[in-house]
Amino acid sequence: MSLSRYAPHQIRARYQRALNTLPIPAATAHTIDPERMTILGETTIAGRQIAFGTHTDAPRLWVTLNDTEPDLIGYMTGLITGEPDLWICNPKHQTWTLEDDNTLKLKQAATRVWFDCQRDCDG
């Protein structure tokens, strides 16, 4: 038993922070064609070229790998509230997103792209 009366609360808080860093598997039947995506921003994470964009048929912030040809990773939600979540649509990329802090870097880059576009478009 812990000597701190706040130990259970601290453990739950740490556990919740750890869960928030994980990507979420998305069981979606509808994904987009990454080649038809409107690119809003790009970055490099762990030596891989990443593009963020939108698609008129599915209005979300989509995330793709753009190393050789666009390959869909998934999409981001929660950007407006400042608590982004990465939803993985392509399971073959889940291992890469879990390596090191790639998920955190994707979330940070997506947030930057989102607010930069919002600033540039809304003025």
pLDDT of residue 14: 79
> How does pLDDT run across 23-74, given as a tens digit for each residue?
777 766 567 888 889 999 999 999 999 999 999 888 889 999 988 788 999 9
pLDDT of residue 74: 92
Confidence (pTM): 0.80
Q: How far apart are CA 75 and CA 58, in angstroms?
A: 10
pLDDT higher than threshold 90 for residue 3: no
> How does pLDDT run across 71-114, given as a tens digit for each residue?
999 999 999 888 899 999 888 888 999 888 999 999 999 999 99
The 3 state secondary structure assigned to the chain is: CCCCCCHHHHHHHHHHHHHHCCCEECCCCCCCCHHHCEEEEEEEECCEEEEEEEECCEEEEEEEECCCCCEEEEEEECCCCCCCEEEECCHHHHHHHHCCCHHHHHHHHHHHHHHHHHHHHHC
